Amino acid sequence: MKILHTADWHLGKSFDSSEFDLITEQGKLLHSIVDIARYEEVDVVVIAGDVFDSYSPSASARRLFYETVCELSDMRKLVIIIAGNHDSPEMLRAEIPLYKGRNIIISGTPSDDLTIFQDGVRDFEVEINGHFVLVKRDSPTAFFLLPYASEVRLREAINGDSAAQEASDYTQKIARIMASEPPFDGADYIGVSHLFMENGEEAGSERQLILGTAYRVPLSAVPPHFNLMLLGHLHSYQTIGNRAVYSGSLFPLSASEAQRSPEKFVVLADGSGHFEPITILPPNRVKSLSFNSVEDALNAAARYSETLVFLEIRTMAVSSENISAIKKAYQNNLITLRFSFGDEKGRAGEINIKAMSHEEVFRRFYREKHGVSPDDELVRLFLSMLQQTEEKMNGTV
Ligand SMILES: [Mn+2]
């Protein structure tokens, strides 16, 4: 059984006050994933969560998703999708009736009833048992689908399982769900989930699943009959032990991710647990650049004409003419433009907020956020609102 694993597409994400068209870039990358699925002759495509960036993604994001999964299905690939922490399970499930008679299986929450897919898949014979989807091919493979589990969703999923309900913490409950007896004889077992596995490393653009480190699941919680875990959530490609892998995201979603993990991959795997990464975005396509002056940034622009850039300039001496000049120099390649305080080494300089007046703090914040100074009317409005709030809090009104 040949499997292509991808995750964290984050379709519909936009960058603050940026004209950069991420959906077009994402569309190109999804095209190359479809091509890889075709020439590698994979049987199953696994999308391990965070398909969309938000609960109500844009129409263009939805369209790209539908086009991609339908194209894969039309190529007789089985597409298995689980929800991540950014996805609305209800929204993903809402489309299920339209997929009847195609090769698409969706799991929104850990308590979803998957038996609706028992007879709803066109080119594959599948057998459903709880969280397991057995795909009957020459080498039968059972996929265990565990979409992102918030504490509430986890509680719903173990409702009725007294041993799991007694388990005290998040990790034990996950382990308990995964520990269910493997139901099919002679099948390979592959886990699919959206979670934070212990020893995994963040790329800097992940939204925390749940606060704290108590929600990191150790590989030891995954029973030995699983040959491999195909994971979503962490945005850098990485392996945990020898039987868990994160494909990483489709495209770097922040300057820090562009720095830590500029190269992007899909994973080709088989039911026995062998896997290898395949590059879909080369390491020099997206860069996080940092300069000490507007002039330096302008001078360097020609060198990056083929590169998409997250640009940071460590100066506050900036005018709207500067900003136009930079936008023009970097044309359509500018993903984000940020001005910051900072020393030569690139670390943000220490600012003692307590020693600053409210007006100074606001002006600096505004410049940092928008790259231009606020006008005086806005500053006056802010200060008067602040004063009203303070008066209310002090009970003087
Ligand atoms: Mn994600």
**What SS3 string covers 63-117?**
HHHHHHHHHHHHCCCEEEEECCCCCCHHHHHHCHHHHCCCCEEEECCCCCCHHHH
Q: Tell me, what DSSP letter sits at residue 30?
A: H
Closest CA to 167 of 181, 151, 182, 189: 151
User: Ligand 1 mean position to 256 CA, how many Å?
Assistant: 14
**Is residue 365 scored above 90 in pLDDT?**
no
Residue 131, helix vs strand vs coil: coil
- The total number of residues written for the chain in this structure: 397
pLDDT in tens, 81-128: 999 999 999 999 999 999 988 999 999 999 999 999 999 899 999 999
Retrieve residue 216's tokens.
């990191």
| pLDDT value at 391 more than 80 | no
Is residue 249 within 8 A of residue 242, CB to CB? The reply is no
**CA 51 to centroid of ligand 1, rounded, Å:** 8
Q: Residues 189-214: what's their mean pLDDT?
A: 85
Beta strand 44-48 pairing with 78-82: parallel
Residue 323 is predicted with a pLDDT of: 92
pLDDT band at 348 (very low <50, low <70, confident <90, very high): very low
- What pLDDT band is residue 345 in, cutting at 50, 70 and 90? very low
The alpha carbon of 363 and the centre of ligand 1 are apart by a number of angstroms equal to: 33
- For residue 207, the CA-to-ligand 1 centroid distance in Å is 7
DSSP string, 215-227: TEEPGGGS-TTEE
Give the pLDDT score at 86: 96
CB 116 within 8 A of CB 81: no
121-160 pLDDT per residue, tens: 999 999 999 999 999 988 999 999 999 998 889 888 888 7
> What is the predicted pLDDT for the residue at 354?
66
Task: Give residue 55 CA to ligand 1 midpoint distance, Å.
Answer: 13
Give me the pLDDT at residue 340, please: 87
Mean pLDDT score of the chain: 91
Contacts of 58 (CB under 8 A, 6+ apart): 12, 23
Exposed/middle/buried for residue 104 (C-beta within 10 Å: 0-12, 13-18, 19+): buried
Residue 264 CA to ligand 1 centre (angstroms): 14
Dist. CA 70–CA 112, nearest whole Å? 22
Q: Please give the distance, rounded to the nearest whole angstrom, from the Cα atom of residue 317 to the centre of ligand 1.
A: 35
Chain segment 21-63, per-residue pLDDT in tens = 899 999 999 999 999 999 999 999 999 999 999 999 999 999 9
- Each domain of the chain, given as residue ranges in start order, spans 2-281, 286-393
pLDDT of residue 346: 43
Which pTM value belongs to this model?
0.85
Distance 12 CA to ligand 1 centre (A): 12
Query: 46: CA distance to ligand 1 center in Å?
Result: 15
CATH class of the domain comprising 2-281:
alpha beta
pLDDT per position as a tens digit, 173-186: 899 999 888 999 99
107: left (phi over 0), alpha (psi -120 to 50) or beta: beta
Percentage of the chain with pLDDT > 90? 70
Give distance in angstroms: CA of 250 to centre of ligand 1: 10
pLDDT, one tens digit per residue, over 67-90 is: 999 999 999 999 999 999 999 999
Alpha-carbon Rg for the chain, nearest whole angstrom, is 24
**From CA 101, how far away is CA 253, in angstroms rounded?**
35
What are the angstrom distances between the C-alpha of 150 and each of 10, 59, 174, 211, 310? 19, 27, 11, 11, 32
Instruction: State mean pLDDT over 357-369.
Output: 83
Report the candidate in 348, 354, 353, 374 with the shortest Cα–Cα distance to residue 363: 374
DSSP 8-state class, residue 11: B
Centre a 10 Å sphere on the Cβ of residue 211 and count the other Cβ atoms it contains: 7
Neighbours of ion ligand 1 (CB under 5 A): 8, 50
Q: Are 53 and 85 in contact (CB under 8 A)?
A: no
Ligand 1 centroid to residue 85 C-alpha, Å: 7
State the average pLDDT over residues 161-165.
Answer: 75
Strands of the 308-313 sheet, one edge to the other: 286-291, 308-313, 334-339
Would the CA dihedral through 69, 71, 74, 76 be positive or negative?
A: negative
Ligand 1 center to 325 CA (angstroms): 34
The mean-pLDDT minimum among 69-78, 109-118, 322-331, 377-386 falls in 377-386
What SS3 class is residue 123? coil
Task: For tokens 């969560």, name the residue.
Answer: 49
For the ranges 27-31, 223-227, 275-279, 388-392, the lowest mean pLDDT is seen at 388-392
